[in-house]
Structure 1
Amino acid sequence: MTLSPPDMRGAGRTWAIAATAFAFFATMVGTTLPTALYSIYAVDLDFSSLTVTVLFAVYAIGVVGALLVFGRLSDQIGRRPVLLIALVCAAISSILFMLPPSLALLVVARVISGFSAGFMSGAGTAAVIDLFPQLRRASGGMLAVAANSGGLATGNLLGGVLATVSSAALITPFAVHLGLTAAAIIGLWMLTPRPATQSSVRLRIQRLRVPAEVRGAFVRAVLAGGSAFAVSGVLTAVTALFLSEDLHIRSHWVPGAIVFLIFATMAAGQVIAGRVPPERALLVGCAGLLVAVVLLMAALGLTILAPLVAAAVLLGLAGGFCVNAGLALTVERVPESTRGEVSSAYFASLYVLLALPAIGVGLLATVVSLRHAGLIFAIVVAALVAAIGGIQARRAA
């Protein structure tokens, strides 16, 4: 059975790579577009901090659900059809967000947005890597992660800026995203090859298997990258409320800009990490994460903005090192026939670690203040990152 696209060279391959990367980017833009809008929803619909964090984290249910049920789908029917499904889900989510908001509608829209990310994260990463020649697979991995992080970054900033300049703050960002997804669907349909053959499709909850030869690296990569995702998730979920309630900063673009820094520098970190041996990149990433968490603790403890901005930048860079090293040690080292499955397992694990801490902080914030809940979380993550870094340092010695 062959799921590979036909051999492509020159301009055809370049256009296919560009269309696939743009589809990845456009899908991920939609997943973070609501970040800067949470404070508006909190006021308009009288949401508590717990509701806001749950609304953020429920998106991960869609991601993990799609990865568990459909994680091997792109290995069965080819990458292109799965990417098209992801884009359709992204478009439906934006349409739902444009309707008059209610908690139930927002939850459904976030879950469908999670479906789009779940379909795209595994299949999109594998699709980009597949389009590169064997000797340039590392470049494919870097581009895939850059498209992922670049989309996440752009969604945060775009949502905040459009909400600030538009008279329809809860509609305009999603209307723009709908246009992006339409362009991505057209580009993917016209510029990428259809899969050569297909196999039968079996849809059921499945254990995403990781080959034994990369299993140890997989665990370390997930714990390191998951720690970065966990801190990113909490910052994404609570930054708007922290800025408005504790720092009295009401501008919608500021929380979007801060979270943009995380994912923009994460993309930069992934590019830099591509020039470093992956085992060393993982160690450097853990060290950077530890410093980023300390800066986050300073921002929350002292209630000042500067350490929060610094934490966002360093968190992104260090997280980029961890995620890129994780891909290099796992997805890039398995056969094409299982690449979609391993990629899905990797991202499913990361998204679980993205969601659970955000919900935990929201629950804790019902007992203590949001700042103190964040501080407790930061201490726990600091201990985890230090342990992972210690294990990695012993391996490198």
Structure 2
Amino acid sequence: MSLYAALTAVTRTVVDRPGGGPHRPHRPHRPPPEDKHRRGGTGAFAAVAAVLVLFLAASSAPSPLYVIYQQQWGFSAWVLTVVFALYVVGLLGALLTVGGLSDHLGRRPVLAGAIGLEMIALVLFLTAGNVVVLSVARVLQGIATGAATTTLSATLVDLEPARARGRAGVINSVAPLTGLAFGALGSGVLVEYGPAPTRLVYGMLIAGMVLAALLVTRMPETAQRRPGALASLRPKVAMPSHLRADIVPVIPVMIASWALTGMYLSLGPSVAAQLFGVRSHLIGGVVVTLLAGTGALAIFLLRSRPASALLAPASVLLGLGTLVSLAGVTQNQALLSAAGTVVAGFGVGASVLASFGTFTRIARPYERSAVFTLANIINYLGNSVPAVLGGIAVTLLGLRTATEIYATAIAAITLTALTLRLNQPRARRRTTEAPVE
């Protein structure tokens, strides 16, 4: 999964300010506007956006195939979710270490390395005959996606057309969920209607990466080399005490939205096949698309709203959508569950804007790197750990019971998020009024 690595750039390009709307902070390493050759044009900007979507699409392409792998190789549900979580391990490791490497080495060298690593992962997917090879492929794909998405997001900011201020922030916000939706749906179509269901999709993605490599060779370099590359690999994580009153209320909705996304990406196709009796592999892609695609639409529609106005609605939509989906599962009503997924998808999109917008607004310039790293850790741990626990629960309790427990837990977390948000003004007043020792 990658709901989102590229969302790191949202924290650098979208700020919660009166009246909402994107705001571009100072970027000292951006090429000067008059250097048209280095800045490229709208063509280069569009090409970089397409490569970003391609990486995210590749990350979700295996989701409809998990059911096939499980049937062919006979592994349990907890193994399936571990394979899913390994991707997050690679992705988070890349975000923590090489996320800022392109600021020192340049955009093109880092992108070239990420594309090469992604192609190795796709070849492993293409030839995989057991869960070990599949696991290695997912780890490598996670590393490649983490390195690529942060670099591509920064490149979009570099290449943003002067007449379209804020466009980079919008693309960086919408691209992750859009890529997830396209990847899952496209994979589902190929698996259901194309030949070689576990091979064709990866062959097409390899061809796409070859095209991406060609685009990168023609892309203008937008970052000058500068010293400090090794130092940039050292992770910096922090939650400054003066920010806790703003950060703590956001954490539950972050965990809930990413945990829900993790469940859909890892176990969603299995729920459709086993609990609703849907035999079409296309449905596995549709399940993911309903959540991720709706989330992308919500981000686009709500992009100009201030983050402080989105946290409570995001919690309500997430909780309500999850409960409606759960009702569909318990009553064997696929359409009801799908409707709940759409509602929850809007909650996911709103929560992305609410959480990243909040982190952007409250963090001071010298704190942003460490605070954004903290946000990524929260998101991806919320995405992977519950998914693995859900897989273990499926093995021990069965798919239906585990799904019911998982969904109930997410609804409870969203209720906590709503409660914290409603109590936030009071908590902030207590912090402000506390005597200084």
| Same fold per superposition (TM over 0.5) | yes
* Residue 200 (structure 2) pairs with residue 172 (structure 1): yes
Task: Find the counterpart in structure 1 of residue 8 from structure 2.
Answer: none
Q: Structure 1 residues 337 and 160 mapped into 2: Cα distance closer, same or farther (>3 Å)?
A: farther
Distance 2:115 2:169 in 1: 21
Q: Structure 1 residues 326 and 85 mapped into 2: Cα distance closer, same or farther (>3 Å)?
A: farther
Q: Secondary structure at 1:98's aligned position in 2?
A: helix
Q: Looking at CA atoms only, which structure, 1 or 2, has the larger radius of gyration?
A: 2
Q: Secondary structure at 1:367's aligned position in 2?
A: helix
Q: Structure 1 residues 81 and 307 mapped into 2: Cα distance closer, same or farther (>3 Å)?
A: farther
TM-score (norm 1): 0.90
Distance 2:368 2:222 in 1: 18
2:382 corresponds to which of 353, 356, 361:
353
Q: CA RMSD in A?
A: 2.9
Matches within 5 A, 1:55-134: 55-132=83-160
Gaps in structure 2 of 5+ consecutive residues = 1-26, 427-437
Q: Once the 2 structures are TM-superposed, how far is the Cα of residue 228 of structure 1 from its aligned partner?
A: 0.9
1:244 corresponds to which of 245, 260, 273:
273
* Residue 51 (structure 2) pairs with residue 23 (structure 1): yes
* Residue 320 (structure 2) pairs with residue 294 (structure 1): no
Q: Once the 2 structures are TM-superposed, how far is the Cα of residue 233 of structure 1 from its aligned partner?
A: 0.7
Q: Report the residue type matching 1:317 in the other structure.
A: F
Distance 1:79 1:320 in 2: 28
Q: Secondary structure at 1:365's aligned position in 2?
A: helix
Moved more, 344-353 or 19-28: 344-353
Q: Secondary structure at 1:27's aligned position in 2?
A: helix
1:277-314 Cα offsets, whole Å, 9 max, x none, are 21112222111101111112212322321122112212
Q: Structure 1 residues 90 and 56 mapped into 2: Cα distance closer, same or farther (>3 Å)?
A: same
1:84-118 Cα offsets, whole Å, 9 max, x none, are 33322222211111104211100000111111222
Q: Structure 1 residues 223 and 79 mapped into 2: Cα distance closer, same or farther (>3 Å)?
A: farther
Q: Structure 1 residues 337 and 74 mapped into 2: Cα distance closer, same or farther (>3 Å)?
A: farther
Q: Once the 2 structures are TM-superposed, how far is the Cα of residue 123 of structure 1 from its aligned partner?
A: 3.4
Q: Percent identity?
A: 25
* Residue 180 (structure 2) pairs with residue 152 (structure 1): yes
Q: Once the 2 structures are TM-superposed, how far is the Cα of residue 192 of structure 1 from its aligned partner?
A: 3.4
2:409 corresponds to which of 343, 359, 380:
380
Q: Structure 1 residues 207 and 338 mapped into 2: Cα distance closer, same or farther (>3 Å)?
A: closer
Q: Report the residue type matching 1:329 in the other structure.
A: T
Task: Find the counterpart in structure 1 of residue 21 from structure 2.
Answer: none
Q: Report the residue type matching 1:372 in the other structure.
A: T
Q: Secondary structure at 2:267's aligned position in 1?
A: helix
Q: Once the 2 structures are TM-superposed, how far is the Cα of residue 156 of structure 1 from its aligned partner?
A: 0.4
Q: Secondary structure at 1:106's aligned position in 2?
A: helix
Distance 1:175 1:46 in 2: 24
Q: Report the residue type matching 1:375 in the other structure.
A: E
Q: Does the Cα contact within 8 Å between 1:6 and 1:196 map onto a contact in 2?
A: no
Q: Structure 1 residues 187 and 116 mapped into 2: Cα distance closer, same or farther (>3 Å)?
A: same
Matches within 5 A, 1:177-192: 177-192=205-220
Q: Structure 1 residues 105 and 300 mapped into 2: Cα distance closer, same or farther (>3 Å)?
A: same
Q: Does the Cα contact within 8 Å between 1:20 and 1:127 map onto a contact in 2?
A: yes
Q: Does the Cα contact within 8 Å between 1:3 and 1:197 map onto a contact in 2?
A: no
Q: Secondary structure at 1:72's aligned position in 2?
A: coil
Q: Structure 1 residues 72 and 91 mapped into 2: Cα distance closer, same or farther (>3 Å)?
A: same
Task: Find the counterpart in structure 1 of residue 338 from structure 2.
Answer: 309
Count of residues paired in the alignment: 397
Q: Once the 2 structures are TM-superposed, how far is the Cα of residue 335 of structure 1 from its aligned partner?
A: 7.8
Q: Does the Cα contact within 8 Å between 1:75 and 1:337 map onto a contact in 2?
A: no
Q: Does the Cα contact within 8 Å between 2:245 and 2:424 map onto a contact in 1?
A: no
Q: Secondary structure at 2:395's aligned position in 1?
A: coil
Moved more, 154-163 or 67-76: 67-76
